[in-house]
Structure 1
Amino acid sequence: MDPDRLHISYAMRQFADETWTGRAERWTAKFYVPNEKIGAAEITRVIPGVTPNPRAALEDDPGLLDRIPRVIFGEDGSLAPAVSALSPVLLLLLESVRVSEAWRGKGVGMRLTVTALRRLAVPGTVAVCYPAPIHDHGPDEPCSYASDDPEVRRPDEEAMEKLRRAWEQHGFRPIGEGVYARRIEP
Structure 2
Amino acid sequence: MTDQDRFLIAYASRHYADADWTTKADRWTASFYTEADTTVFGTAEITRVALGAVPNPRQTLDADPGVLDRIPRVVFTEDGRLVPLVAELNPSLLLLLESVEVTEEWRGKGVGMSLAVTALRRLAIPGTVAICYPAPIHPQHGPGEVCSYESDDPEVRRADEEAVVKLRRAWERHGFELIADGVYGLRVGPA
Identity of aligned residues (%): 66
2:103 corresponds to: 100
Determine helix, strand or coil for the equivalent of 2:40.
strand
How far the C-alpha of 1:49 sits from its partner, in A, is 2.0
Q: Is 1:64 paired with 2:57?
A: no
Number of equivalenced pairs:
184
Q: CA deviation digits over 1:78-129, x for unaligned, max 9?
A: 0000100000000000010001110011111111011100110001100000
Q: Match of 1:19, SS? A: coil
User: 1:147 aligned to 2:151?
Assistant: yes
Aligned to 1:14: 15
The question of whether the paired residues in 1 share the 8 Å contact of 2:25 and 2:64 is answered with: no
Moved over 6 A (4+): none
Q: Is 71-80 or 27-36 further displaced after alignment?
A: 27-36
1:25 maps to which residue? 26
Structure 1 unaligned segments of length 5 or more: list them. Answer: none
Equivalent position SS for 2:186: strand
Tell me the equivalent position of 1:36: 39
Q: Distance in 1 between matches of 2:131 and 2:125?
A: 15
1:5 corresponds in structure 2 to: 6
Equivalent residue, structure 1, for 2:93: 90
User: 8 Å contact 1:43–1:95 — kept in the other structure?
Assistant: yes
User: 1:176 maps to what in 2?
Assistant: 180
Using the TM superposition, name which of 162-171 and 35-44 deviates more: 35-44
Q: 1:66 to 1:171 in 2, by over 3 A?
A: same
Cα offset, 1:36, TM superposition: 2.6
Displacement of 1:142: 6.3
Equivalents in 2 of 1:28, 1:166: separation in Å? 22
Which ranges of structure 2 fall in alignment gaps of 5 or more residues? none
For residues 34-77 of structure 1, the C-alpha deviation after alignment (integer angstroms, 9 at most, x for no partner) is 23322000001101222110000000000011100000000000
* Structure 2 length-normalised TM: 0.90
TM-score normalised to structure 1 length: 0.93
What is the root-mean-square deviation of aligned Cα atoms in Å? 1.9
